[in-house]
Amino acid sequence: MRTTTTRQYRDTQVDVKLVLCALWITMLFVFAYVDIFGFYRADVLKAALDGKVATTGFMVNQVFLTSTLAYILLPALMVVLSLLLKSRVNRILNIVVSLVYMVTIIGSAIGEKWAYYIAGSVVEVILLAAIARSAWKWPPPQTAPSLP
């Protein structure tokens, strides 16, 4: 007689800090690739070669590039801060930063006609919402059982 056994794999709990870190990394990859793919657009490439940012009035100069660096540094730092900060500060910072970036990404997508940009922005917003939700639902600290 032949018996078959079914393997039951169990899910393991993933630490909230690792989840947040992974979500920030993924969001940054999407963020970067949307910008990189933009250089296949003739209008973006021509504007860049002319020292301008396509569809905006921005000139590519020291102020613009420094501001752009400052804008991208915070989510980049959130990758490591999500792992290192204490839970209370970590939770608040992840909620605030993700919500602020959601607003800026939605704002930058207004009026956009290119499907790749809109799709990338939607994915970024979903990832940022997942960050805010994960931080919001962070399990409370466990209290030690009281002694009788």
> Rounded mean pLDDT of 45-59?
91
- Confidence class of residue 104 from pLDDT cuts 50, 70 and 90? very high
Mean residue pLDDT of the chain comes to 93
Q: Report the pLDDT value the prediction gives residue 145, as an integer from 0 to 100.
A: 64
State how far the Cα of 54 lies from the Cα of 129, in Å rounded to an integer.
Answer: 28
Amino acid at 38: G
Alpha-carbon separation of residue 38 from 13, 53, 147 (angstroms): 38, 11, 62
69-101 confidence digits (pLDDT tens): 999 999 999 999 999 999 999 999 999 999 999
Among the listed residues 76, 77, 86, the one whose alpha carbon sits nearest the alpha carbon of residue 16: 86
Q: Report the pLDDT value the prediction gives residue 141, as an integer from 0 to 100.
A: 78
Q: Report the pLDDT value the prediction gives residue 115, as an integer from 0 to 100.
A: 97
The three-state secondary structure class of 53 is: coil
Q: What is the pTM of this model?
A: 0.86
Please check the confidence at residue 147 and state whether its pLDDT lies above 70.
no
> Rounded mean pLDDT of 53-82?
94
3-50 confidence digits (pLDDT tens): 677 788 888 889 999 999 999 999 999 999 999 999 999 999 999 999
31-41 confidence digits (pLDDT tens): 999 999 999 99
